[in-house]
Structure 1
Amino acid sequence: MQSTTASTPHFPRASAALMAVLLAACCLCAGLFTAPAASADDWRDKEYWLADSGITKAWEVSKGAGVKVAVIDSGIDAQHPDLKGAVTGGYDASGSGDPNGQKSVGSKPEHGTLVATMLAGRGHQPAGASPSAGPAATPPDGIIGVAPEAQLLSVSTWLGSPNPSGKSDQDQIPEAVRWAVDNGARVINISLGSTTPQWPQSWDAAFLYAEQKDVVIVAAAGNRIGGNTQVGAPATIPGVLTVAGVDRKNVASVDASSQGISIGVAAPAENLVGGLPGGGYAEWAGTSGSTPIVAGVAALIRSKWPDMSAEQVINRIITTARDAGAPGKDPLYGYGILNAEAALKADVPEVSVNPLGTIAEWIRVHRRGNAVPATPVPSATPVASAAPTLPEATVPAAKAPSQRDSAIGAAVVIGFAALFLAIIAAAAVQLRRAAGDPLAPGEEPETGATERVNPHRKPHVTDGRTG
């Protein structure tokens, strides 16, 4: 993604094209490894984060029932065995997929299904079993997501290669966000990113819309191996819960994570497993996988406390995180490593504002101080695309000087020049007098000068000769 500035609301065409490539090239999938054939139980057994991050303990409180989570990605294969019944709607923001958003598109078509299974996979339920069966029941085969009772909305985007429809990320991302909000998403998962912290102004209105509609947005920090040494947009947008990655030892991942001041929390990013379109499975790595783990926990919280505000949900996640790295918030772990059990069970003080900032305030300060627009009114039909929040900024032209100003300026210059010449001439006369030089022809003594006369000195007489 190419950068934009506060005073540049639109990108050049070449920059927009490069942004689209990088968004998917940094799809934050540090590695995708299709392992040898194995039973579904073997794949489920590899989900170490369910216990290590306190998720199985959090299930004692909530499994995400009644919460819609939108996955803005490359599309979800809703027919995957572990996702049957999980995907309840969708939309194609790319213009090149199926209208329901469930066709895998873009340069990494498998990406959305990997994310979806980690977030809300339900596994292969044995005959007669229910997805809401208690922990004492026999675990199902396949991938179990963090919020296995949540509902998924698949919002497909085409990124990383030329889009047949011609729609760029500048159109797809805001359109996807607004559709998700208008269709009931309480949490939005964005496992996509870029190599620049800046975002186009065309995104402002959509992210502001989500903020004003009390939606939690969770985004991936990016991976060093994918070129993201620093967190890139949209994970740099104020108010977004940005997720970094750690390895099996809870140390910041060297390859499968990045760093930046916008990071809110860290979660597992290595040795991950997920489902592939067509019913397969794969091992992978990256903050693309860390993000649905955290988004899933947000869904658990919103299910437990349906009236809890987005800022309270985010505050609960970061406040209960286990501190890591430098004491307090730092650019590698944010506020710490995810602790899902504490996020669902701990007493957390309420906050009145989002601890990660607000896009409304950022727009007010950085988009040339223009007023933040009022909350958009939802339409009966999906909004095709979010319009730029603000008009193109203009800079007033400098006022040309008047003729009077020019005349005054010239007179001042001439006056100073005359004064300077007079000072030089007077100084020259004084120097000659000090050296004993006679006055030059036509020169006169200075006005007011007196001659000292020695009364005892005889007059000097000349003989008329030169001398």
Structure 2
Amino acid sequence: MAVSVLIPAGAARADSIRDDQYWLADYGVEQAWQTSRGAGVTVAVIDTGVDSSVAELEGVVVDGTDVSGQGSSDGQTPVGTDDPTHGTLVGSILAGRGTAPGDGVVGVAPEASLLSVSVGFGTDAVDSDTQIADAVRWSVDHGADVINMSLTRNTLDWPTSWDDAFLYAMENDVVVVAAAGNRGSGTTEVGAPATMPGVLTVAGVDRSGTASFDASSQGITIGVAAPSEKLVGVGPGDIHYSWSGTSGATPIVAGIVALVRGAHPELDADDVINRVISTATPRGTSTPDPLYGYGLVDAAAAVQSTVPAVEANPMGDLAEWIRVHRRAEAPAASPAATTEPAPAPVPTPQADRGDRLQALVPTVESMRSTGIPLIVFGVFGGALAAVGWGAWRQVRRRRDQE
């Protein structure tokens, strides 16, 4: 995430910060506010800690905890060795209240409430994978309707502890929104939790709506794209920052999810996610597209359009993935102890299983299970065929000479 100090809050021109929040008008957020501002919706921010002492976040954080062993019990003390301002910036873009009408940072869902769950990457107290699993479970148990995760594991796979934690969230009707990651930070392809079935993954675009080269990764699990460059947020000490990255695009989408949940409390998580992706403005060469997913998010359309109900999460079924994939990883039973063949490993479920083009593209998992052996056998098979062809031609030539 690229960050630069914009200007201390007290010295800012009254409306300069609000003017810089271009996504509020460009992505239909202000129009969506005519229907919903996120009232009654609780969003958990699993991050470095959201400092509610800043002016724009006064009264926004209603509960919190620390799972790192390094922070305060309310989860609001910044932790971690990389960027302790990160969680507060995320929280302000998601649910900032501003400082006065037309002043300061206002979030996409300015009437939503936040849970601050502090995690500390780079600390030695608790393993980071354990922290995430604990953070997700705590968020669900304390009333989260949405979970924002502006972080990545930088691997396609994830530990089994995340299976249970994320499945727990989905079974309890919680929408999980995760960042695709930033190429400029070394994440060239989407990593967990953004690779997990059922998670709404967010890619980033620049001011013109074009996929951001430095501030967004790509992958087949992307759901929607949102602004990730020239973002404005507020950090501890009431200091405003200009920053870039899918860390900022993610709370924009999580805020839109909160607007949808506020406007349509009768909808379950699957239908909420479907509203967000099905009303997005398509971009790229396919739908879904590895750069844009289903397209550029549209807050007004997501909140106000008529959208048919769905019977399953359009971003995939984590329970089914666990049932098939984790069984495939278990030690094979002896032939006498089983009556049916063991299931083959399956790739991470794609958003649209009916996409014929994507079905032809091998994934990392399918390459591990079938691609490498086929390559090896293909090389040796080709060599043997060449030898056989040469021998046959020699025999044929001798016969002709006779």
Bin of the TM-score, shorter chain as denominator length: 0.7 to 0.9
Contact kept in structure 2, 1:216 and 1:240, CA below 8 Å: yes
Aligned ranges for residues 241-320 of structure 1 at < 5 Å? 241-320=200-279
Measured against aligned partners, the alpha-carbon deviations of 1:407-435 in whole angstroms (never above 9, x if no partner) come to xxxxxxxxxxxxxxxxxxxxxxxxxxxxx
Asked if 1:143 corresponds to 2:105, the answer is yes
Which residue of 126, 130, 136 maps to 1:177?
Answer: 136
Asked if 1:162 corresponds to 2:123, the answer is yes
Aligned ranges for residues 65-76 of structure 1 at < 5 Å? 65-76=39-50
- Partners of 1:146 and 1:244 in 2: how far apart? 17
Deviation at 1:35, TM superposition (A): 2.5
Aligned residues: 332
Deviation at 1:395, TM superposition (A): 4.4
What is the aligned partner in structure 1 of residue 342 from structure 2? none
Which residue of 104, 115, 121 maps to 1:153?
Answer: 115
Instruction: Determine helix, strand or coil for the equivalent of 2:157.
Output: coil
Measured against aligned partners, the alpha-carbon deviations of 1:222-270 in whole angstroms (never above 9, x if no partner) come to 0100111110000111000000000011000010001000000000000
Structure 1 residues 40 and 71, CA, compared in 2 at 3 Å: closer, same or farther?
Answer: farther
Which residue of 92, 95, 106 maps to 1:117?
Answer: 92
Aligned residue type for 1:218: V
- Partners of 1:358 and 1:118 in 2: how far apart? 29
- Partners of 1:169 and 1:242 in 2: how far apart? 20
- Partners of 1:95 and 1:62 in 2: how far apart? 37
Instruction: Determine helix, strand or coil for the equivalent of 2:327.
Output: coil
Measured against aligned partners, the alpha-carbon deviations of 1:355-399 in whole angstroms (never above 9, x if no partner) come to 110110110010015xxxxxxxxxxxxxxxxxxxxxx94445799
Give unpaired runs (5+ residues) of structure 2. 337-402
TM-score, length-normalised on structure 1? 0.69
Which residue of 295, 300, 306 maps to 1:347?
Answer: 306
What is the aligned partner in structure 2 of residue 226 from structure 1? 185
Measured against aligned partners, the alpha-carbon deviations of 1:76-124 in whole angstroms (never above 9, x if no partner) come to 1011100001110001111111011010000211000000000000011
Name the Cα RMSD after superposition.
1.4
- Partners of 1:36 and 1:269 in 2: how far apart? 20
Aligned residue type for 1:89: D
Measured against aligned partners, the alpha-carbon deviations of 1:141-183 in whole angstroms (never above 9, x if no partner) come to 1100000000000000001x233xx201121001000000000
Contact kept in structure 2, 1:66 and 1:151, CA below 8 Å: yes
What is the aligned partner in structure 1 of residue 62 from structure 2? 88
Contact kept in structure 2, 1:194 and 1:222, CA below 8 Å: no
- Partners of 2:28 and 2:257 in 1: how far apart? 13
Instruction: Determine helix, strand or coil for the equivalent of 2:30.
Output: helix
Contact kept in structure 2, 1:198 and 1:233, CA below 8 Å: yes
Matched residues, percent identical? 57
Aligned residue type for 2:22: Y
What is the aligned partner in structure 2 of residue 457 from structure 1? none
Contact kept in structure 2, 1:194 and 1:228, CA below 8 Å: no
- Partners of 1:97 and 1:64 in 2: how far apart? 28
What is the aligned partner in structure 1 of residue 155 from structure 2? 196
- Partners of 2:208 and 2:263 in 1: how far apart? 30
Aligned residue type for 1:103: T
- Partners of 2:190 and 2:111 in 1: how far apart? 31
Structure having the larger proportion of residues in helix:
2
Instruction: Determine helix, strand or coil for the equivalent of 2:104.
Output: strand
Instruction: Determine helix, strand or coil for the equivalent of 1:88.
Output: strand
TM-score, length-normalised on structure 2? 0.80
Instruction: Determine helix, strand or coil for the equivalent of 1:244.
Output: strand
Deviation at 1:46, TM superposition (A): 0.3
What is the aligned partner in structure 1 of residue 23 from structure 2? 49
With a CA cutoff of 8 Å and minimum separation of 6, indicate the structure with the bigger relative contact order.
Answer: 1
Contact kept in structure 2, 1:122 and 1:144, CA below 8 Å: yes
Aligned residue type for 2:60: A
- Partners of 2:265 and 2:313 in 1: how far apart? 17
Deviation at 1:327, TM superposition (A): 3.5
Aligned residue type for 2:110: P
- Partners of 1:365 and 1:209 in 2: how far apart? 18
Which residue of 77, 90, 110 maps to 1:103?
Answer: 77
Instruction: Determine helix, strand or coil for the equivalent of 2:15.
Output: helix
- Partners of 1:212 and 1:280 in 2: how far apart? 39
Instruction: Determine helix, strand or coil for the equivalent of 1:34.
Output: strand
Measured against aligned partners, the alpha-carbon deviations of 1:267-289 in whole angstroms (never above 9, x if no partner) come to 00000010111211100000000
Instruction: Determine helix, strand or coil for the equivalent of 1:334.
Output: coil
Asked if 1:62 corresponds to 2:33, the answer is no
Which residue of 355, 362, 366 maps to 2:325?
Answer: 366
Q: Which has the larger radius of gyration?
A: 1
Structure 1 residues 363 and 123, CA, compared in 2 at 3 Å: closer, same or farther?
Answer: same
Contact kept in structure 2, 1:77 and 1:278, CA below 8 Å: no
Aligned residue type for 1:35: L
- Partners of 1:329 and 1:225 in 2: how far apart? 23
